[in-house]
Structure 1
Amino acid sequence: MNTKKYLIAGALMLAMSAPATAQEVNYAEALKPITAAIQAAPNDPKAAKDLIKEYQKTFKKSEEAIVALGNVYLLQHNFTAATDIANSVVNNKKFNGSLGYVLLGDIAALQDSIGNAGAAAQQYQTAISLDPQNVAAYERYAKVYRHVNSKVAVAKLEELRKVKPDYPVEATAAEIMLSDGKYKEALAWYDKGNPAYMSEDNFYNYGFAAYITKNYQKALDVMKKGLQKFPNSEYLSRIAMMASVELKDYPSAISYGKVVFAGTGKKVANDYDVYAKALCGAQQYDEAVSTVNKALEVDAKNVEPLKTLAAIYAAQGNEDKSLEVQQEYLSKSRKATNNDWATLANTYVTKAEALTDRDEKNAVLAKALDVYEQMVEKFPSISDWVWLNQANVAQLMNDPDKVAEIYQKVAAYEEKKPKLDEDSKSYLESVYYGLGYYYSKKGNKELADQYFNKVLKVNPDNVDAKKALGM
């Protein structure tokens, strides 16, 4: 694998699916200064004029080389220049012309704002007619036609299998689905494929599809098969490490992580972050802290590893340091979720539970209450869930009046809903009973019974409410 992106990219691939030859390497080198000159002055039609002239003279007998020059223009969206080059290829009787028609198809595909695929597919079909072995033409046809008719797209790949029996139709169909973000559909296609024909890329994408759909065991199983065929692949080991962490198999995750870091490919912040989680799970805390700090160094703008750092400190029992890091994360992150805020509140609760002095304990629990109060403002759609968590903290503070006050908020919130879902019914049943119990302890039987009766309206089978009412 020459280049491996960490995540799947859905862009149309413009590189030709042809074996690398000495001439191909030569023209690839010759294209570098041309590409640089065109990129530096994309609006100058004379950019790299002399270099291009020399290039065309040198590689005038190579269809691949001339089409590669067209791709340079295409990547700059200079459709006129790219089309001129493609036409020069298809009109040259000394060339087969198949690669030229692929370039014309790529031009049509990139210019098509509607997505009807017709013009591009027609060019790719012509390429196939001229060269039934042109793998790129079949693949491009399937990719542009997938939105129009996915069955026709796959059928085109089946045609390719007739001339190349070992062509991985299912894997390619899966990657077409991946490019559209259809991970479940991609996974279904991969499952139909023959692993014997899968490339390292195929296995990587297969495992990624399983991982992104949270099928972690499958992701790991796929990576194990891939590693049998491609031993010590750092790319496959990356997915295996990620899946193992999710499965809490930390020794295996560490083992896969060592393969990842032994490889020569580029390491991203997430690599260090996931490996740090594995080390933390294995209680290798010092190394975990060191590793997650590397994640923060690799990408200073990515604050997500701060969550891992906070979790490491919490696992060590250092709640103060964990709280400090969590607060830093929440102050910097634009991606912070309600779970991240709830984690901060829970960390305060954990710290409070270790304290024996009531005043100290309540002072810390009050901070948890405040976090939940902020959550109500930030995430109003889950106010009821937040309040119930807040009520649990008030109970730990031995403050029944505060608990009752919060329960009344929950009751009012749910009662305003035009229709109750199962969660809402459960919340109401809980707070009605809690309020009934509260007022019975206060000696207000009348009000207590009103709430116990409300419990039965939500759930007629509630045994405790019936018992409280003497039924």
Structure 2
Amino acid sequence: MKKNYVLIALFLIALIPAAWSQVDKGLELLLLEDFDEAKKVFEQTATSQPDIAYYYLGEIALQKENTEEAMAHYQKGISADEDAIFCQIGATKLSLKSNPDEFKKSMKGFAKKNRKKAPVLLAVAQAYRYNDMHKDASGALSSARSADKTYPYIYLFEGYWMEKQGNTGGAATQYEQAINFDPNCAVAYVKNSLAYSSVLPSAATNTLKAGLEANPGNELISKYLARNYYRTGFYELAINEYSTLLQKGPLSPVDERNYAASLYFSDKFEEALKALSDILAKEPDHPVMNRLMMYTQNELGNYEEAIAAGEHFFELRSDDEEFTPLLTDFTKLAEAYMAVEAFDQAIEMYRGAVKVNPEETAIYKEVATTLARANRTIEAIEFYQGYIDATQSTESADYMQLGIYNYQVAGQLARKVNAAKKAIEAEETVEVNLGLLNDSLAQFAGNAVEAFGKVIELAPESYQGYYRRANANTLLDLDLSKGLANSDYQKMIEILVADSEDNNQDRLVEAYRYFAIYYLYQYDASNSNDDKNQSIEYAKKVLELNPEDATATQIVEGLQQ
């Protein structure tokens, strides 16, 4: 019988380190505000360590401002262990909150009976903090340090409280104290790194590296080092840390997502695809992961799959910031639509892109160029005009490009008008409305004239604006009866003749040929010798620059017979 008692005693002694190890894990999670996981740990510890477990279950409930639940946990601890000092402190700070004198008297009693027990004195300090007696809390913390200055949680909970007050520097100092007194306290390195993360990321990284040197292979520190690398954009280093952690077991959902994103941002698209597929199999409606899936499939050229992920992502939209689509969400899905020639859907996505971030004006130009390459020039005009309106552009090159797009559409319409007229003359069936075609032609050609006029206004010394506007005006004067392009061609000739360089000889030939034809038409209508001579003169100017020009040769030979 005596032997059995010895075995039982040895078994209970063996349980104590394991139980306290779980308590430490719970405290780590609590300090890192992972309250749900901390709660699970303390619930598992409640049988072997009811006082400390129920006390911290109560503290977690207070973090969620649930005093009734907190009191219930404290009472459970007291019921399970009549000497439950922690739970007695917890219950007292709630029951005597409205009676500060009695509360203070009770806390002094707890402190006096446990003056050599740092954890109990820390609980007293926390009770004072809860009831806004900060001077008394400081006194209790001083007593805790006197009892055992190496107990790291004194500094950890004081740092945690300072963080809540916005005193990040003071909190960091407390965490450093915890490290100094207990280099094996992993959560102290983590809390210290988090305090530095927003103001000095390199210091946060170095703290975690130092923590791993002091605690080789520690999973908590490794996890936060991986997260720190991810947050600061060192994706390859994040991947390395996460790969090490994966050898020890599965990652948490947050870290799975960080790992997948790190793979994507490191251009490891095949690996990212596998990681994302695993995540979405468990969380099919996670918006950020659907976003990354769309991006990844796009990069791999799997456009149908990118569209499926993108469409699902947009179905998940809400008013929450996390779910709000980014400009690139619209453009990536638009790119996938463009790749499968679903142009109408792509255009709608591009329209969404320019609305979601109006300050990102460069997108207008990029979209216009993309649509123009796909022969969706009318929509290209829409986006380029949007760019000019958004930026109030005064760049001649912008109006030049806008004019060119309008001119291209007008040219296409002019060809359709001519084809329709020929069909009508041949008494063939015409399936288009010639009146509407002419109206559209006038609209786009007029827009081109206006845009090129702006080019002339902004760069009057350049021949380009005159040349382009002359071309646009010829579309409004197909039989040259109005001479709408005359003044611009004359100005262009003036500028080019004054230019000593030969770079623009072709443009001069074009202008001279225009006038040779213009005056030929005038001569046909008026039979005037002046028009005849002008036509011959301009035709000869063409031949001086290009003796092989067939049109000029025909005019000279025909009029000089």
**TM-score above 0.5, yes or no:** yes
8 Å Cα contact 1:251/1:282 also seen in 2: yes
Residue 125 of structure 2 is matched in structure 1 by: 142
Give the drift of 1:111.
5.5
Residue 412 of structure 2 is matched in structure 1 by: none
Supply the RMSD in Å over aligned alpha carbons: 5.0
The answer to whether residue 387 in structure 2 is matched with residue 403 in structure 1 is no
> Hey, what's the Cα distance between the residues in 2 that align with 1:365 and 1:201?
49
TM-score, length-normalised on structure 2?
0.51
Larger radius of gyration: 2
Residue 47 of structure 1 is matched in structure 2 by: none
The answer to whether residue 109 in structure 2 is matched with residue 126 in structure 1 is yes
Deviations 1:138-194 (A, max 9, x none): 323333444736676455323322221323344332223456787676445435654
8 Å Cα contact 1:67/1:86 also seen in 2: no
Q: Secondary structure at the match of 2:359?
A: helix
1:378-393 alignment, distance < 5 Å: 384-385=358-359, 389-390=363-364, 393=367
> Hey, what's the Cα distance between the residues in 1 that align with 2:58 and 2:31?
26
Alpha carbons of structure 1 residues 110 and 337: separation in structure 2 relative to 1, 3 Å: same
TM-score, length-normalised on structure 1?
0.59
Residue 242 of structure 2 is matched in structure 1 by: 257
Residue 258 of structure 2 is matched in structure 1 by: 274
> Hey, what's the Cα distance between the residues in 2 that align with 1:326 and 1:184?
43
Residue 431 of structure 1 is matched in structure 2 by: 392
Give the drift of 1:373.
6.2
8 Å Cα contact 1:210/1:216 also seen in 2: yes
Alpha carbons of structure 1 residues 112 and 237: separation in structure 2 relative to 1, 3 Å: farther
Alpha carbons of structure 1 residues 200 and 246: separation in structure 2 relative to 1, 3 Å: same
Pick the aligned partner of 1:28 from 22, 47, 58.
47
- More relative contact order, 1 or 2 (CA 8 Å, 6+ apart): 1
1:268-417 alignment, distance < 5 Å: 268-299=252-283, 302-318=286-302, 320-334=304-318, 335=320, 337=322, 340-348=325-333, 366-372=347-353, 375=356, 384-385=358-359, 389-390=363-364, 393-394=367-368, 397=371, 399-400=380-381, 402-405=383-386, 407-408=388-389, 410=390
Higher normalized helix content (fraction of residues): 2
> Hey, what's the Cα distance between the residues in 1 that align with 2:30 and 2:280?
17
8 Å Cα contact 1:210/1:218 also seen in 2: yes
1:18-167 alignment, distance < 5 Å: 28=47, 77=69, 79=71, 99-100=84-85, 102-110=86-94, 122-146=105-129, 148=132, 153-154=137-138, 156-167=140-151
> Hey, what's the Cα distance between the residues in 2 that align with 1:171 and 1:77?
25
Alpha carbons of structure 1 residues 187 and 401: separation in structure 2 relative to 1, 3 Å: same
> Hey, what's the Cα distance between the residues in 1 that align with 2:158 and 2:336?
52
Q: Secondary structure at the match of 1:165?
A: coil
Alpha carbons of structure 1 residues 261 and 73: separation in structure 2 relative to 1, 3 Å: closer
Give the drift of 1:106.
0.7
Give the drift of 1:389.
3.9
Q: Which amino acid aligns with 1:443?
A: G
Residue 187 of structure 2 is matched in structure 1 by: 201
> Hey, what's the Cα distance between the residues in 1 that align with 2:231 and 2:370?
32
Decide which moves more: 128-137 or 389-398: 389-398
Alpha carbons of structure 1 residues 286 and 432: separation in structure 2 relative to 1, 3 Å: closer
Q: Secondary structure at the match of 1:340?
A: coil
Deviations 1:312-370 (A, max 9, x none): 33443545533432332231254465873312223256669x97x9xx69757624423
Q: % of aligned pairs identical?
A: 12
Unmatched 5+ stretches in structure 1: 16-24, 30-63, 91-96, 376-381, 411-429, 450-471
